Amino acid sequence: MADLKVVLSDPQTGKAYNIDATGAAAGAIIGKTIGTEIDGTPFGLAGYKITITGGSDKTGTPARADLPGNGKRRLLLADGFGFHSDHNGQRRRKTQRGSEIAPDFVQVNAKITAYGEKTLAEIFGGEEPAAE
Protein backbone atom coordinates (compact mmCIF):
# COMPACT_ATOMS: atom_id res chain seq x y z
CA MET A 1 0.00 0.00 0.00
CA ALA A 2 1.09 3.56 -0.62
CA ASP A 3 2.44 5.92 1.99
CA LEU A 4 1.02 9.43 1.87
CA LYS A 5 1.65 12.66 3.71
CA VAL A 6 -1.60 14.47 4.45
CA VAL A 7 -1.26 18.20 5.09
CA LEU A 8 -4.39 19.05 7.07
CA SER A 9 -5.24 22.73 7.39
CA ASP A 10 -7.51 24.18 10.06
CA PRO A 11 -9.49 27.15 8.66
CA GLN A 12 -10.39 28.42 12.15
CA THR A 13 -6.83 28.85 13.41
CA GLY A 14 -4.89 28.99 10.14
CA LYS A 15 -2.54 26.21 11.26
CA ALA A 16 -1.56 23.14 9.27
CA TYR A 17 -0.84 19.67 10.64
CA ASN A 18 1.12 16.85 8.98
CA ILE A 19 -0.24 13.32 9.13
CA ASP A 20 1.62 10.25 7.84
CA ALA A 21 -1.04 8.03 6.27
CA THR A 22 -0.05 4.39 5.82
CA GLY A 23 -2.08 1.24 5.36
CA ALA A 24 -5.80 1.72 5.97
CA ALA A 25 -5.49 5.50 6.31
CA ALA A 26 -3.88 5.76 2.86
CA GLY A 27 -6.48 3.37 1.48
CA ALA A 28 -9.22 5.73 2.67
CA ILE A 29 -7.85 8.45 0.37
CA ILE A 30 -6.74 6.51 -2.73
CA GLY A 31 -9.40 6.56 -5.41
CA LYS A 32 -11.12 9.69 -4.08
CA THR A 33 -11.18 12.91 -6.08
CA ILE A 34 -10.38 16.50 -5.17
CA GLY A 35 -13.39 18.07 -3.47
CA THR A 36 -14.55 14.81 -1.85
CA GLU A 37 -15.44 14.96 1.84
CA ILE A 38 -14.20 11.97 3.85
CA ASP A 39 -14.39 10.87 7.48
CA GLY A 40 -11.38 11.68 9.68
CA THR A 41 -11.54 8.45 11.72
CA PRO A 42 -8.79 6.57 9.77
CA PHE A 43 -6.40 9.43 10.65
CA GLY A 44 -7.25 9.42 14.36
CA LEU A 45 -9.66 12.35 14.05
CA ALA A 46 -12.93 10.93 15.37
CA GLY A 47 -15.91 13.12 14.54
CA TYR A 48 -14.00 15.25 12.04
CA LYS A 49 -14.89 15.62 8.34
CA ILE A 50 -12.07 16.37 5.90
CA THR A 51 -12.28 17.71 2.34
CA ILE A 52 -9.49 16.90 -0.13
CA THR A 53 -8.25 20.14 -1.72
CA GLY A 54 -5.26 19.01 -3.80
CA GLY A 55 -2.06 17.06 -3.90
CA SER A 56 1.11 16.22 -5.79
CA ASP A 57 2.93 13.11 -6.94
CA LYS A 58 6.51 11.95 -6.41
CA THR A 59 7.84 14.25 -9.14
CA GLY A 60 6.07 17.31 -7.73
CA THR A 61 3.41 17.46 -10.42
CA PRO A 62 0.29 19.09 -8.93
CA ALA A 63 -3.20 17.61 -9.13
CA ARG A 64 -5.85 19.72 -10.79
CA ALA A 65 -9.51 19.56 -9.75
CA ASP A 66 -10.95 20.12 -13.23
CA LEU A 67 -9.12 17.19 -14.91
CA PRO A 68 -10.85 13.81 -14.66
CA GLY A 69 -8.89 10.61 -13.96
CA ASN A 70 -5.48 10.17 -12.37
CA GLY A 71 -3.08 10.38 -15.32
CA LYS A 72 -0.70 13.14 -16.31
CA ARG A 73 -1.50 15.57 -19.11
CA ARG A 74 0.41 18.41 -20.72
CA LEU A 75 -1.87 21.43 -20.80
CA LEU A 76 -1.39 24.78 -22.49
CA LEU A 77 -1.88 27.28 -19.68
CA ALA A 78 -2.26 31.03 -20.02
CA ASP A 79 -2.45 31.90 -16.33
CA GLY A 80 -3.79 30.58 -13.07
CA PHE A 81 -3.24 27.25 -11.36
CA GLY A 82 0.27 25.87 -11.99
CA PHE A 83 1.56 28.77 -14.08
CA HIS A 84 1.72 32.55 -13.63
CA SER A 85 2.68 34.48 -16.74
CA ASP A 86 5.41 37.10 -16.75
CA HIS A 87 3.75 39.26 -19.38
CA ASN A 88 0.34 39.63 -21.01
CA GLY A 89 -0.51 36.89 -23.50
CA GLN A 90 2.22 34.46 -22.45
CA ARG A 91 1.27 30.78 -22.56
CA ARG A 92 3.23 27.69 -21.59
CA ARG A 93 2.68 23.94 -21.74
CA LYS A 94 2.83 22.44 -18.23
CA THR A 95 2.34 18.92 -16.92
CA GLN A 96 -0.68 18.51 -14.62
CA ARG A 97 -2.30 15.47 -12.96
CA GLY A 98 -5.95 14.49 -12.89
CA SER A 99 -8.13 14.95 -9.83
CA GLU A 100 -8.22 11.31 -8.69
CA ILE A 101 -5.77 10.41 -5.90
CA ALA A 102 -3.50 7.57 -7.08
CA PRO A 103 -0.99 5.37 -5.21
CA ASP A 104 1.96 7.31 -6.67
CA PHE A 105 0.89 10.52 -4.90
CA VAL A 106 3.21 11.66 -2.10
CA GLN A 107 1.32 14.59 -0.62
CA VAL A 108 -2.41 15.18 -0.28
CA ASN A 109 -3.72 18.57 0.85
CA ALA A 110 -6.93 18.68 2.88
CA LYS A 111 -8.94 21.01 5.07
CA ILE A 112 -11.29 20.44 7.98
CA THR A 113 -14.98 21.02 7.25
CA ALA A 114 -16.57 19.62 10.44
CA TYR A 115 -15.01 19.47 13.89
CA GLY A 116 -15.13 16.65 16.46
CA GLU A 117 -15.27 16.70 20.24
CA LYS A 118 -11.51 16.93 20.87
CA THR A 119 -9.55 19.94 19.70
CA LEU A 120 -6.68 19.53 17.28
CA ALA A 121 -4.25 20.78 19.93
CA GLU A 122 -5.28 17.84 22.15
CA ILE A 123 -4.94 15.32 19.29
CA PHE A 124 -1.62 16.50 17.86
CA GLY A 125 -0.14 17.88 21.08
CA GLY A 126 -0.30 21.60 21.57
CA GLU A 127 2.60 23.99 21.64
CA GLU A 128 4.40 24.12 24.93
CA PRO A 129 4.79 27.54 26.54
CA ALA A 130 8.22 29.12 26.21
CA ALA A 131 10.46 29.00 29.26
CA GLU A 132 11.08 32.43 30.76
Which tens digits make up the pLDDT trace of 51-77? 999 999 999 999 999 999 999 999 999
Which tens digits make up the pLDDT trace of 3-30? 899 999 999 999 999 999 998 899 999 9
User: Cα-flanking dihedrals φ and ψ of residue 60, to 5°?
Assistant: 90, 5
**C-alpha torsion angle, residues 102, 105, 124, 43 (rounded to 10):** 20
Q: Give the type of residue at 73.
A: R
- The pTM of the full predicted model, rounded to 2 decimals, is 0.86
Neighbours of 50 (CB within 10 A): 26
DSSP state for residue 43 in the 8-state scheme: G
Out of 46-50, 73-77, 82-86, 105-109, least confident range: 82-86
For the sheet with 16-21, list strands across it: 16-21, 4-9, 105-114, 49-57, 37-39
